[in-house]
């Protein structure tokens, strides 16, 4: 019993250290007794709050995230899916499966924010909604035309599919609700859940934003960089990033017709990009067989990896999945130094061409859409082990879903809040330079000053000093004094404009004679 108590005390001390705000302040050198007492009370309060948080963690964060650990000279990337399946529990092993539909592929996937449901779209027109907990097919429909992409809206009741001519919105039962003809032939779809905006890029390089609550088209911009099917949303600030064939990555917001950022990331076409959940790290892959990790706070390359990727995706815990051909590689950074190295690898059956990789939220599962269907593999340590039921609840009831939908609509953010640095929202704007008044404003100010000079009342003075002629002279002096600053400003502006109009003698002369102009001595 004594040994168990000591172990629990040690665990509690480690958890308390995690919530402490650094080392305690040294109060011995303070001479002010009042300040010393206040700081001592504050330090005591910090200690109590850290202990309370450590106790609550036991109940609010019951699960701990794990990852693969190799013994001796063993490497984690050599461990196969068959070995993992033999060691995990029955519920986890159910998440490892292959759905083979060779006549309808290749497939694109999307998960809801809580990871409970998955939408699968086959290029040959197959749309399917799957409950990932029970592995039951909720609905499967055949639209009988090309489907390029699929994206869930704010919950599992609605999803959008990019079909041959236009994107369509369907409900959970497979009923067509809307045809978005203004978007055209869309290649990629993304949904901004905090702003309720559906973003699309079509085959003519046009980026469009549509508000799904009111149906209003918020933005319609021509990128001017040609056709692209590489699009991703930054979860931190809602900025949409596009990868182009010229090797540039552009970042857009719905209230600006020009890109916020235009950066040359690769010498050749950009094949894929992905954002870390914290929004400060971006991964891009190019056709020159290189993956680059970028720090978006400085727009600098942190790391360059020598491998090709047709599709990229970050997990909730920061693992990076890269898929090309029939090979998938998982890169990890457990040290936190943004130095990614190989963590796991997986080879599909020969002939399978990976189209999209996507981590399932709150589960250690990677979804793979490929040319022969879709598959799920186990990636230990990829998902967040504890979910917040106020943010995303995989076990929510229909009543909870309705309540959440109402709250999210009330908390909907306007498109103007999308910016590179969202911390600026709510701050005080810095004082701007005083703008130069226009000619009409200056004339109006001068007339107002003249009127006030005319309306001035004079004191009644002694006989001989109160003549009408003297009053008129004094009034004229006051009017000229009121006019003087405006006239001086006007003359200064006139002189400045004359100086600007003066050009060099070289530009006045013909080009053939400019070489004969005498140069000024320096």
Instruction: Output the pLDDT for position 167.
Output: 96
- Residues 89-104: pLDDT tens digits? 888 889 999 999 989 9
Which residues, other chains included, contact 394 with Cβ-Cβ below 8 Å and sequence gap of 6+? 114, 115, 116, 133, 362, 387
Instruction: Output the pLDDT for position 17.
Output: 75
Residue 260: pLDDT over 60:
yes
What's the whole-number mean pLDDT along residues 163-179?
Answer: 94
Confidence of residue 402 (pLDDT cuts 50, 70, 90): very high
CA gap 62, 341 in Å, rounded: 29
DSSP state, residue 416: G
Instruction: Output the pLDDT for position 501.
Output: 64
CA gap 294, 320 in Å, rounded: 13
Burial class (CB within 10 angstroms; exposed 0-12, middle 13-18, buried 19+) of 349: exposed
- Residues 456-470: pLDDT tens digits? 777 766 666 667 777
Q: Which of 9-23, 156-170, 374-388 has the highest mean pLDDT?
A: 156-170
Contact 171, 188 (CB under 8 A): no
CA gap 447, 465 in Å, rounded: 29
Q: How many other C-beta atoms are found inside a 10 Å radius of the C-beta of residue 435?
A: 6
Residue 273: pLDDT over 90:
yes
What's the whole-number mean pLDDT along residues 411-439?
Answer: 79
Which tokens in the block code for residue 220? 């319609």
CA gap 113, 401 in Å, rounded: 12
- Residues 382-392: pLDDT tens digits? 888 888 878 88
Contact 519, 506 (CB under 8 A): no
Which residues sit opposite 283 in a β-bridge? 274, 293
Of 311-315, 438-442, 513-517, the poorest mean pLDDT is in 513-517
- Residues 212-252: pLDDT tens digits? 999 999 999 999 899 999 999 999 999 999 999 999 999 99
Instruction: Output the pLDDT for position 323.
Output: 94
CA gap 332, 340 in Å, rounded: 5
Residue 517: pLDDT over 90:
no
What's the whole-number mean pLDDT along residues 309-333?
Answer: 93
CA gap 517, 522 in Å, rounded: 15
Which tokens in the block code for residue 83? 């070995």
Instruction: Output the pLDDT for position 503.
Output: 53
- Residues 4-44: pLDDT tens digits? 555 666 677 777 777 777 777 777 777 788 888 888 888 88
493 vs 6 pLDDT, higher one: 493
- Closest-CA residue to 127 (of 115, 135, 118, 136): 118
Instruction: Output the pLDDT for position 274.
Output: 96
Nearest-5° angle of CA 351, CA 357, CA 358? 150
Instruction: Please state, for a pLDDT cut of 90, what percent of the chain lies above it.
Output: 54
Of 47-61, 132-146, 398-412, the poorest mean pLDDT is in 47-61
3-state secondary structure 310-334: CEEEECCCCCEEEEECCEEEEEECC
Residue 365: pLDDT over 90:
yes
For tokens 């549509």, what's the residue? 210
Tell me the pairing of strands 270-275 and 261-264: unpaired
- Residues 296-306: pLDDT tens digits? 999 999 999 99
Instruction: Output the pLDDT for position 522.
Output: 47
Instruction: Output the pLDDT for position 455.
Output: 77
Residue 518: pLDDT over 90:
no
Contact 415, 195 (CB under 8 A): yes
Contact 148, 163 (CB under 8 A): yes
| Cα-based distances in Å from 469 to 456, 465, 466 | 16, 10, 9
CA gap 294, 243 in Å, rounded: 14
Which tokens in the block code for residue 174? 């497979």
For 181-299, where are the E strands, in sequence order? 186-192, 197-202, 206-211, 217-222, 230-233, 240-243, 248-252, 261-264, 270-275, 281-286, 290-295
For tokens 């309540």, what's the residue? 403
What's the whole-number mean pLDDT along residues 330-337?
Answer: 85
What value does the CA radius of gyration of the chain take, rounded to a whole number of Å? 34
- Residues 436-456: pLDDT tens digits? 677 777 788 888 888 887 777
- Closest-CA residue to 234 (of 251, 222, 255, 210): 251
Confidence of residue 51 (pLDDT cuts 50, 70, 90): confident
Which tokens in the block code for residue 88? 């995990």
SS3 at position 148: strand
- Closest-CA residue to 89 (of 329, 439, 380, 467): 380
Cα dihedral 264, 265, 266, 269 sign: negative
CA gap 324, 309 in Å, rounded: 5
């Amino acid at each position: 019993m004594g040994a168990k108590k000591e172990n629990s005390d040690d665990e509690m001390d480690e958890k308390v250290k995690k919530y402490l705000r650094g080392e305690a302040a040294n109060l011995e050198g303070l001479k002010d007794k009042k300040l010393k007492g206040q700081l001592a009370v504050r330090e005591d309060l910090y200690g109590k709050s850290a202990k309370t948080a450590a106790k609550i963690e036991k109940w609010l964060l019951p699960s701990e995230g794990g990852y693969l650990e190799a013994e001796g000279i063993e490497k984690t990337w050599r461990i196969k899916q068959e070995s993992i399946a033999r060691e995990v529990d029955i519920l986890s092993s159910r998440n490892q499966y292959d759905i083979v539909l060779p006549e309808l592929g290749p497939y694109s996937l999307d998960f809801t924010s809580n990871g409970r449901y998955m939408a699968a779209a086959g290029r040959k027109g197959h749309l399917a909604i799957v409950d990932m907990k029970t592995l039951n097919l909720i609905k499967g429909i055949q639209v009988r035309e090309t489907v390029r992409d699929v994206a869930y809206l704010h919950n599992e009741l609605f999803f959008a599919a990019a079909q041959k001519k236009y994107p369509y919105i369907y409900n959970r039962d497979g009923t067509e609700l809307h045809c978005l003809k203004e978007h055209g032939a869309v290649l990629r779809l993304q949904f901004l859940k905090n702003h309720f905006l559906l973003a699309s890029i079509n085959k003519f390089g046009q980026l469009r934003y549509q508000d799904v609550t009111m149906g209003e088209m918020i933005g319609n911009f021509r990128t001017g960089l040609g056709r692209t099917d590489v699009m991703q949303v930054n979860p931190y600030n809602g900025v949409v990033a596009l990868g182009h064939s010229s090797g540039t990555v552009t970042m857009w917001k719905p209230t600006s017709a020009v890109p916020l950022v235009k950066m040359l990331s690769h010498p050749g076409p950009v094949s894929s990009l992905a954002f870390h959940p914290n929004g400060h790290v971006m991964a891009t892959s190019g056709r020159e067989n290189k993956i680059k990790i970028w720090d978006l706070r400085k727009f600098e390359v942190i790391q360059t990896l020598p491998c090709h990727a047709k599709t990229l995706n970050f997990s909730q815990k920061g693992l990076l999945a890269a898929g090309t051909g029939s090979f998938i590689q998982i890169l990890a950074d457990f040290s936190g130094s943004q130095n990614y190295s190989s963590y796991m690898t997986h080879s599909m059956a020969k002939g399978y061409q990976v189209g999209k990789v996507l981590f399932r939220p709150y589960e250690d599962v990677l979804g793979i859409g490929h040319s022969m269907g879709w598959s799920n593999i186990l990636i230990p340590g990829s998902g967040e082990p504890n979910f917040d039921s106020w943010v995303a609840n995989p076990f929510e009831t229909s009543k909870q879903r309705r309540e959440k939908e109402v709250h999210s609509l009330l908390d909907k953010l306007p498109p103007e809040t999308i910016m590179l640095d969202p911390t600026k929202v709510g701050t005080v704007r810095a004082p701007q330079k005083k703008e130069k008044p226009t000619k009409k404003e200056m004339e109006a100010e001068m007339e107002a000053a003249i009127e006030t000079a005319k309306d001035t009342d004079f004191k009644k003075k002694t006989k001989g000093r109160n003549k009408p002629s003297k009053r008129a002279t004094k009034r004229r002096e006051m009017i000229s004094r009121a006019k003087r600053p405006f006239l001086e400003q006007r003359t200064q502006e006139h002189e400045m404009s004359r100086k600007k109009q003066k050009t060099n003698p070289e530009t006045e002369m013909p080009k053939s004679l400019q070489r004969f102009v005498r140069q000024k001595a320096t």
